[in-house]
Chains A and B, each alone.
Chain A
Amino acid sequence: MIRVEHLTKIFEDKLVLDDISCTFDKGKTNLIIGQSGSGKTVFLKTIVGLITPTQGDIFYCDTNFTQLNHIQQKEIRKKIGMLFQGAALFDSATVEENVMFPLHMFTDMSDKEKIEHVNFCLERVNVTGANDLFPSEISGGMKKRVGLARAIVLNPEYLFCDEPNSGLDPQTAILIDELIKDITDEFHTTTIVNTHDMNSVMGIGEKVIFIHQGKKAWEGNNKEILNSDNEALNKFVFANQMAQELRKARSIKK
């Protein structure tokens, strides 16, 4: 479980996160949603410690992450797997080397064990036969999957995904979402997913936090989200034409 208390982040004089408090549950896919530029990435990176918060605390279980020193923070980070928006695969390394990298750095496995485990993770995300390709040689969807494989290779307790399905076709996007959901159930991770995609919200939003103008504007789950009366949220949820029609229809039925 991760708990965030009164988190505020100001860049120079730009307020990006404004006094956000919330919890992310273990074994669930927790979603952070909001428009582009609403601060989702900053929020996620602050939780991992890649960005230092201006104010507020972040608790991993009951450990106050913000008060740990550098070395103690590193220990926690070893339990974190993170998938970045552009997958962030190392350009100069093959798919296999990318996934193997954390094993090289943090385990004493033999080469054979490493390769077996890498192949297990790659199969888990449905990437086979691409071990020797470079990131520049594979598709966007495949990159995300390899990034996900790299994120789970150390059996993390925490899994963070920054817009895992942005830039993908709807079908691939759903596959990635399901993959994240399955992995969360299987490994019982505390998973946080950034997204602005309503399909993801409806599909895997076991817990949803809506960020608007730097504040936490709404919190709930995918069942509740369509019936909320939060105006900003409704604007976000029913952004496209079809959704608006749907909403009209619902309100008439009521």
Chain B
Amino acid sequence: MRILLYHLGNYFILLTKVFARPEKTKAYYRQFIQEVNNIGLNSMGIILIISLFMGSVITLQTAYNTESPFLPKYLIGLGCRDSMILELSSTMLALIMAGKVGSNIASELGTMRITEQIDALESMGINSASYLILPKIVASLFFFPLFTILSIIIGILGGWLSVAITGVISITDFNYGLQYGFNPFYITYTLIKSVIFGFIISSVSSYYGYTVEGGALEVGRASTKAVVYSSINVLLFNVLLTQLLMS
């Protein structure tokens, strides 16, 4: 319990440093462009692959488990659409991004810490926390919703393809289900979640990376912790936000 409070306190202290007023915006802009690459563009491939498979498997599962004649066929398309929108493309995706982006951020910052690159920045009179972490957080806030939208589209495409290939139901039924009873608020809900998950993953991972002490071994540990605690927080906030937004 004490260690939890300790980390929580230090985490918020770090955040106040991160959000201190930036001194030279142009320099931050360069960093931001780098993070767009690191966090944004480099994640596109994995998101495409994962979403495609999630969409197709959820479609096939629904199809094979609802073969009762009393259940309408459109449920399959609808199930694919809503599960992608509500959970898979935000929460599930965030968990995968915690693994990819989170460990990347933590090991990058951790290495900079133990090789004194962070000290070098500070010795020049630069707010290293803000200079290094803020661009990561901003890039994440920007890209995570984008990831989610992309993932929804690709996931539905995956479902559609699996139906087309296996012929488990007719494409017409599936298409009908995709359009059946669409609730636009679901999109808002999932985008809110993805922004918050983006913040959690980038800031929590930055915290564990930035505060590394020791050597290469500790960087590895920090990277693991970053993934674990980002994921736990994503799951926790998923429940909280769902209760808050859906009830």
Residues of A within 8 A of B (CB): 45, 48, 50, 73-78, 80, 82, 84-86, 88-92, 102, 104-106, 160
Q: CB of B34 within 8 A of chain A?
A: yes
Interface residues of B (CB under 8 A from A): 24, 26-27, 30, 34, 111-112, 115-117, 119-120, 122-126
Contact A78 B116 (CB under 8 A): no
Binding site of A, secondary structure by majority: helix, strand, loop or mixed?
A: mixed
Establish whether residues A84 and B24, one from each chain, have CB atoms under 8 Å apart when the complex forms. Answer: no
CB distance from A147 to the nearest CB of B (A): 8
- Nearest CB to that of B124 among chain A residues? A102
Asked if A48 and B123 sit within 8 Å, CB to CB, the answer is yes
Q: Please give the distance in Å from B171's CB to the nearest CB on chain A.
A: 48
What separation, in Å, do the CA atoms of A102 and B24 have in the docked complex? 12
Which residues on A sit within 8 Å (CB–CB) of B116? Answer: 84-86, 88
The complex places the Cα of A102 from the Cα of B125 at a distance, in Å, of: 10
The residue of chain A having its C-beta at the shortest distance from the C-beta of B24 within the complex is: A105
- List residues of chain A with CB within 8 A of the CB of B34: 92
Asked if A77 and B125 sit within 8 Å, CB to CB, the answer is yes
| Assembled-state Cα–Cα distance A104/B131 (Å) | 13
Which residues of A have CB within 8 Å of B119?
Answer: 45, 50, 84, 88
* Pair B124/A77 contact, Cβ less than 8 Å: yes
A86 and B115: CB pair below 8 A? yes
| One of A77, A91, A104 near B123 (C-beta < 8 A) | A77
B67 shortest CB reach to chain A, Å: 54
Q: Which residue of B lies closest to A41 (CB)?
A: B116
User: Which residue among B24, B112, B123 has the maximum number of chain A CB atoms within 10 Å of its CB?
Assistant: B123
Q: In the bound complex, what is the Cα–Cα distance between A102 and B122 (angstroms)?
A: 12
Return chain A residues, CB-CB under 8 Å to B124: 77-78, 80, 82, 102, 105-106
> Taking CB as reference atom, which chain B residue is nearest A90?
B117
Contacts of B120 in A (CB 8 A): 82, 84, 88, 90
Inter-subunit contact A91/B111 (CB<8 Å): yes
